[in-house]
Amino acid sequence: MKKIFLAAAFFLFLATLGYAQGQSPWKPLNPNSTTRKYSTLLFLINNYYMDTVNMPQLTEKAIVATLKDLDPHSAYISKKDLERANEPLVGSFEGVGITFQLFKDTILVIAPVPGGPSDKAGILAGDKIIKVDGMQAFGPAITNDWVMKHLRGKKGTRVVVSIYRKGMKKLLDFTIVRDVIPLHSIDAAFMLNKNTGYIKLSRFARRSVEEFNRAIDSLKNHGMKDLVFDLRGNSGGYLSTAQGIADEFLGDRKLIVYTEGAHSPRQDLYASRAGNFEKGKLVVLINEGSASASEIVSGALQDWDRAILVGRRSFGKGLVQRPFQLPDGSVVRLTVARYHTPSGRWIQKPYNHGVDAYYHDLEERMKHGELIHPDSIHFPDSLKFHTASGRTVYGGGGIMPDIFVPLDSSRYDLFYSELVRKGAFNTFVNDYLNDNRRKLHKKYADTQEYIAGFNLSPALFDTFLADARKAKVKIDSVVLQRNKAFYKLQIKALIARDLFNQNAYFEVMAPLDHGIRKAEEVMQNNALFKKL
């Protein structure tokens, strides 16, 4: 009864809307229709209920409740939240252009965006923002939302920040003119060895194909013949971008994906032109965080036997959402179709046990041992399909890789989690760079020199452990000895990120990344490539 009551507001919205995104007007309501019944009920509540009802709030609750009853991915986004929700996919926002973190209740600049407003104004990595337009910008009241609210703003507007910079006796005032700041979807692109390149894509955004091609061209200039393409943790994005990325690997007129729904006729999406990497060995990394567009690309490459997939079973999202604008500027992202890989696989995992169970699926996978042992995964024969060469693949619950890589337990043990949660890594790295940033820049001209020359001394690692103890971290000696190399590399990578860029972080971490190491091993095995 509660769901029916809440749904009434949503259907009144539809009844009074008359259009969605320029579609044809709705047909006149049948007096006996369910929609008319719901809207009449809401009219009665609004006009005869004993208390005053907050109708806008009731309407939003009704929309959310109705969509939740459909599937896990249909969603309502209020007008207020819409702009921020679109940022990762649109690929830009307007602001001052810094990456930052809140460190000890202070806004610490990790790095200015190269060429952005803060970079042009002279803001440096390691600067601490003490005031914004004369207001105190430190203390427990300063949150990520506070920073966003005060540093973001329309292009052309000005903001004055007062900076503490180590070695300076007084605060430095900078006037920054806000501008459009690009959001990049390529996290890293570098050479793993003289022949093999590596690209990590974090999302399928509007400009991802353009970014991807720049990365490919750059790596080719450095001698790349083979590629490791990392889609781990990539939760998806635009369907058209997935088509564009897959197109770079597949020959002309090869089917990439097809979509179909009760009110959406089948639509086939093909590779349509010469791709930027149609030849050369290709390994795609996936895991339980790879979803939607990531599964479209990896599924197509697997079905056409173009790539070897390495990692763990993907998330399992095979539903297509389309945005429909409501009269107040809010948006409903409604699931309108299912997508299928070229072999016919629908990779959507079941959601018949409710939204909560759906999103707790990862916990169930861990409980059943799937992230450690692939033998715990079972697909029924009814979901069996075949690739272009006749290899067996399965649908109905994500993309299963060709080669399994278990979860790296060193990144998920409780001791490591506590080190991260209590800020031990950040405290050490920030303090170390405060004292050594200029010296390190002078000594290491680029990431390669840093990787080859910098090593964390025993004395520095002891300082890190001392910082951890100050932060009330209980040192687990057994786990520490087992994973010490990983912790030291993590510190080295975080220093590299703050000293150079995000790309440097991934380049430093690559030697201890189990997925990348397995991918390199596969690259060396010509017989395995021929077999798969």
Instruction: Domains for the chain: give ranges and CATH numbers.
Output: 2-69 (no CATH), 92-182 (2.30.42.10), 186-325+335-408 (3.90.226.10), 411-512 (no CATH)
pLDDT of residue 222: 97
pLDDT of residue 22: 38
User: What pTM, to 2 d.p., does this model score?
Assistant: 0.83
Angle between helices 414-421 and 477-499 (to 10 degrees): 40
Q: Are 204 and 259 in contact (CB under 8 A)?
A: no
Question: How many helices (H) and strands (E) in the chain?
Answer: 19, 21
pLDDT of residue 530: 79
pLDDT in tens, 384-422: 899 999 999 988 889 999 999 998 877 767 898 889 888
pLDDT of residue 17: 37
pLDDT of residue 1: 42
Q: How far is CA 262 from CA 266, 335, 337, in A?
A: 9, 11, 7
SS3 363: helix
SS3 136: strand
DSSP tag of 25: P
Give the C-alpha separation, 12 to 507, whole Å.
Answer: 54
Give the residue ranges of DSSP H helices in 103-188: 117-121, 144-151
Residue 238, H or E segment: none
pLDDT of residue 315: 92
- The rounded average pLDDT for each run of 10 residues, N- to C-terminus, in the chain (532 residues) is 42 37 46 76 88 88 88 89 73 82 84 81 87 94 89 92 87 92 90 97 93 98 98 92 97 96 95 92 95 96 97 93 91 94 93 79 78 72 86 89 87 82 87 92 96 96 95 93 94 93 94 96 89 75
The closest alpha carbon to 305, from 520, 523, 529, belongs to 529
Given CA atoms 271, 276, 282, 286 in this order, what sign does their dihedral have? negative
Task: Give the pairing type, strands 186-191 and 392-394.
Answer: unpaired
Core vs surface per residue 111-140: b (16+ CB within 10 A) or e: bbbeebbbbebebebbbbbbbbeeeebbee
pLDDT of residue 26: 46
Task: Give the pairing type, strands 75-77 and 331-340.
Answer: antiparallel
Neighbour-count burial of 276, counting CB atoms closer than 10 A to its CB (0-12 exposed, 13-18 middle, 19+ buried): middle
- What are the strands, taking DSSP E only, across 327-454? 331-340, 384-386, 392-394, 403-404
Give the C-alpha separation, 90 to 110, whole Å.
Answer: 23
DSSP tag of 20: S
Q: Which residues are catalytic?
A: 292, 317, 321
